[in-house]
Amino acid sequence: MNRLVLIVFFLIPLSLSAQQKLEFIEEKIDFAINSERFTINGIYYFVNNSTQEIKQTILFPFSKNTNSLTIKRIFNLSYAENLSYQKLENAVIFKLFVLPKDTVKINIAYSQNTVKENIYILESTQTWGQALKKADYSLTFDTSVQIDSLSLKPDYLENNVYYWKKRNFYPNENFKVLIK
């Protein structure tokens, strides 16, 4: 019985607290759309507040099958290295190594064919269990497309570019660009 109490009250909490957690804190994404391609070029910020290196597999979801996408790059800007990735049906997975008390910036760029409803997955932010401290988005469009509606109300429009600046952003819907 004493052994069980030791396990329940000491060893289990100790092992749980020993598991380090990577935090996803910020994203800056430039979207572009024309009659042929919907392009996404994002920088994603991950922080390790612990005193130990964290090795974590990241699942990055897409709204379309990966075979229909052109993945341009998955690159660790902080450590200046290409990241190997594996394609799944609607996502890619890659390993991320973050040194203690460090922040890394990951650039993910890809494009897909333009369709009537163009979607970027935002809801997956909820799997991190916290709001993004900062999220800045822009959408550049040219005269070859007419935007019918946007799922997120932009903060402003300037020279064919919509802008969004979000703080403590916990999205409950995906970003959608509907064209006529």
pLDDT tens digits, residue range 20-78? 689 999 999 999 999 999 999 999 999 999 999 999 999 999 998 888 899 999 999 99
Q: How far apart are CA 75 and CA 145, in angstroms?
A: 30
pTM of the model: 0.87
93-150 pLDDT, tens per residue? 999 999 999 999 999 999 999 999 999 999 999 889 999 999 999 999 999 999 999 9
Q: What angle do CA 56, 135, 80 make, to 5 degrees?
A: 45
Q: Is pLDDT above 80 for 14?
A: no
Residues forming beta bridges with residue 85, ordered by sequence position: 94
Q: What is the CATH number of domain 2-179?
A: 2.60.40.3680
Contact 90, 62 (CB under 8 A): yes
Provide the residue ranges of all domains of the chain, joining segments of one domain with +: 2-179
Six-digit token pair at 87? 């394609």
pLDDT attached to residue 20? 65
Contact 108, 73 (CB under 8 A): yes
Name the nearest CA neighbour of 63 among 38, 26, 80.
Answer: 38
pLDDT attached to residue 68? 86
Q: Is pLDDT above 90 for 161?
A: yes
